[in-house]
């Protein structure tokens, strides 16, 4: 017998987002993570505007905003001289359509802690120290063996188990692409004596190679990034020799190899991949965590609908929609890495990522609204915000004064623009927002 549950392997940003989205839809889940304790590092610290929209919908935006800050300006150091750099992107004011216009810096461990808290409030828990070891599947379910010796029989398995994904390997899927820098990189969270926290400091021609020290919002720490070879004699020695500053504490450290790789399938039967398990990015442009969160946000409502008897073909649209996004985002982060470009903004904020060519998108454009695009926020005539009406697991139908109806998917993308009314979408009644007379 297979239980009507989703087994999620991996409780990083991708696994936690999926767990929250399924839990709030009343879908039974098990969330396991191989690590014995939660991830402790700052790694993916840049949260893009589109992910902030998602976090608004998932009910964690206040904690995310309280736990982070804007990116600081860069400051370049050359021996005794230093000069401020241009901001990577201008800080923009919030508008009616884009409530979160700027990337927001939150150390990854804090983002994960906030997501775990939200999951807990929904009755979910992460089972740490529990790795997925192997699995088999048939047309009724998945049988998974865990490191604890337990065997779980679930309806679906989602491999959100990171770049070295055991699920991906067991499926025989290849991460195709390239290593874009042969030099191993080091990343660490450091306390540094006397270094100005108003700037993201860069020593481009430091002894042993470039050093970056970025002050992590709402902490005493800097995120250090450098070539691992330069830190052969220790991070403390490297920072002292190159910058003249003293490291007083190393809170966390790790290495990574800048690569741009992805799979060519996101689904094999009842098993799905999400996040770094499916695509590995260089850190430039801050795309990896964001793409991972949005994979899960795309999969959650579809999986919930199919678990309740919806058509299985809906699950094929996960790969149809997310694979091209991963390919384009990978191309962008690779280009930014290779060209050393520090230009950010519209290209990296992920607001214009869309599903225009998806089989789920239909109808004709209406003004600036296009089937497949992110539905922008808007001020409503009653003074409320459209995003407040979208928040939650339902779909929404906007009925415009001229009778045109706009169907918004549970994940905030425009599914359809037309004239016929929609009773329900993805198994749930649609909420109707009548004649909103959107002020744009």
| Interface residue with ligand FAD, options 13, 49, 67, 300 (CB under 6 A) | 13
Interacting residues with ligand FAD between 347 and 366 (CB under 6 A):
none
| DSSP conformational letter for 69 | B
Compute the half-sphere exposure of residue 184: CA atoms within 13 Å on the CB side of its CA. Answer: 9
> Helix or strand or coil: residue 4?
strand
Among 14, 217, 325, 329, interactor with ligand FAD by CB under 6 A: 14
Shortest gap between Cβ of 258 and ligand FAD (angstroms)?
Answer: 8
Segment lying near ligand FAD (by CB under 6 A), choices 169-177, 287-295, 297-305, 353-361: 287-295
> What span, in angstroms and rounded, lies between the C-alpha atoms of 315 and 305?
9
Comparison of 190 and 390: residue with beta carbon closer to ligand FAD:
190
CB-nearer residue toward ligand FAD: 56 or 161: 161
C-beta of 254 vs 354, nearer to ligand FAD: 254
Q: HEC states along 254-278?
A: EEECCEEEECCCCEECCEEECHHHC
Determine if 189 is a binding residue for ligand FAD (CB under 6 A).
no
Give the range of 32-40, 207-215, 417-425, 429-437 binding ligand FAD by CB under 6 A: 32-40
Rounded least distance, CB 292 to ligand FAD, Å: 4
Give how far Cα 52 sits from Cα of 1, 62, 354, Å: 40, 10, 16
The count of residues interacting with ligand FAD (CB under 6 A) is: 35
Nearest distance, CB of residue 331 and ligand FAD, angstroms: 16
* 41 part of the interface to ligand FAD, by CB under 6 A: no
Site string for ligand FAD, 98-137 (x = CB under 6 A): ----------x----------------------xx-----
* Interface with ligand FAD in residues 44-63 (CB under 6 A): 44-46
Q: Does 284 bind ligand FAD (CB under 6 A)?
A: no
Judging by beta carbons within 10 Å of its beta carbon (0-12, 13-18, 19+), is residue 140 exposed, middle or buried? exposed
Q: Which stretch binds ligand FAD (CB under 6 A): 8-16, 84-92, 116-124, 172-180?
A: 8-16
Half-sphere exposure of 421 (CA within 13 A, CB side): 8
CB-based contacts of 54: which residues, under 8 Å, 6+ apart? 17, 293, 294, 297, 411, 412
Q: Is 34 helix (H, G, I), strand (E, B) or coil?
A: coil
DSSP 339-380: HT----STTTS-TT---TTSTT-EE--BTTB-TTSBPPP-B-
- Residue 394: closest CA among 16, 118, 25, 115: 25
CB 280 to ligand FAD: min, Å:
8
Q: Which two tokens stand for residue 105?
A: 């810096």
Q: What stretch of H or E contains 177?
A: strand 176-179
Q: For 365-380, b where at least 16 C-beta lie within 10 A, e where not — what string?
A: ebeebbbbbbbbbbbb
Residues 235-264 contacting ligand FAD, CB under 6 A: 256
14 contacts 266 by C-beta, under 8 angstroms: no
Span from 7-15, 360-368, 390-398, 425-433 in contact with ligand FAD (CB under 6 A): 7-15
Nearest distance in Å: CB 369, ligand FAD: 27
Q: Does 67 bind ligand FAD (CB under 6 A)?
A: no
* Binder of ligand FAD out of 24, 30, 43, 305 (CB under 6 A): 43
Q: Given the complex with ligand FAD, which of 45 and 305 has the nearer CB atom?
A: 45
For residues 432 and 406, what is the distance between their CA atoms, to the nearest angstrom? 10
**300 part of the interface to ligand FAD, by CB under 6 A:** no
Polymer length in residues for the chain: 440
Could you tell me which stretch among 36-44, 360-368, 370-378, 400-408 binds ligand FAD (CB under 6 A)? 36-44
- Which residues would be at the binding site for ligand FAD (CB under 6 A)? 9-15, 32-35, 39, 43-46, 108, 131-132, 160-162, 166, 187, 225, 256, 275-276, 283, 286-290, 292
């Amino acid at each position: 017998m297979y239980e009507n549950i989703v087994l999620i392997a991996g409780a990083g940003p991708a696994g936690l987002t999926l767990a929250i989205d399924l839990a709030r839809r009343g879908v039974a889940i098990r969330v396991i993570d191989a690590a014995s304790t939660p991830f402790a590092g700052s790694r993916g610290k840049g949260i893009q505007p589109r992910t902030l929209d998602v976090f608004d919908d998932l009910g964690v935006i206040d904690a995310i905003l309280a736990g982070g800050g804007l990116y600081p300006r860069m400051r370049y150091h050359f021996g005794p001289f230093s000069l401020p750099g241009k901001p990577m992107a201008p800080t923009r004011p919030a508008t009616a359509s884009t409530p979160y216009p700027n990337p927001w810096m939150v150390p990854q461990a804090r983002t994960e802690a906030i997501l775990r808290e939200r999951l807990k409030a929904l009755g979910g828990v992460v089972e740490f120290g529990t790795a997925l070891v192997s699995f088999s599947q048939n047309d009724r379910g998945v049988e998974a063996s865990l490191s604890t010796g337990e065997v779980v029989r679930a309806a679906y398995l989602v491999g959100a188990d990171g770049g070295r994904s055991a699920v991906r390997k067991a499926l025989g899927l290849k991460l195709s692409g390239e290593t874009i820098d042969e030099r191993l990189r080091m990343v660490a969270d450091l306390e540094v004596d006397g270094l100005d926290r108003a700037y993201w400091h860069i020593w481009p021609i430091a002894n042993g190679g470039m050093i970056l020290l970025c002050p992590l919002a709402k902490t005493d720490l800097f995120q250090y990034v450098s070539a691992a070879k330069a830190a052969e004699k220790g991070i403390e020695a490297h920072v002292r020799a190159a910058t003249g500053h003293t490291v007083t504490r190393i809170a966390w450290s790790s290495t990574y190899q800048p690569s741009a790789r992805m799979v060519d399938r996101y689904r094999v039967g009842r098993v799905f991949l999400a996040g770094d398990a499916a695509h590995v990015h260089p850190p430039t442009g801050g795309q990896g965590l964001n793409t991972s969160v949005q994979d899960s946000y795309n999969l959650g409502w579809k999986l919930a609908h199919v678990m309740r008897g919806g058509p299985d073909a809906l699950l094929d649209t996960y790969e149809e929609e997310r694979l091209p996004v991963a390919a384009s985002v990978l191309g962008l982060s690779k280009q930014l890495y290779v060209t050393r470009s520090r230009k950010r903004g519209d290209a990296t904020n992920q607001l214009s990522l869309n599903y225009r060519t998806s089989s789920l998108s239909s109808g004709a454009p209406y003004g600036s609204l296009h089937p497949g695009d992110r539905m922008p926020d808007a001020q409503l005539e009653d003074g409320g915000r459209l995003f407040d009406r979208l928040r939650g697991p339902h779909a929404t139908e906007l009925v415009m004064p001229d009778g045109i109806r706009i169907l918004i998917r549970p994940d905030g993308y425009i599914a359809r623009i037309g004239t016929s009314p929609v009773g329900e979408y993805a198994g749930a009644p649609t909420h109707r927002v009548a004649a909103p007379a959107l002020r744009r």
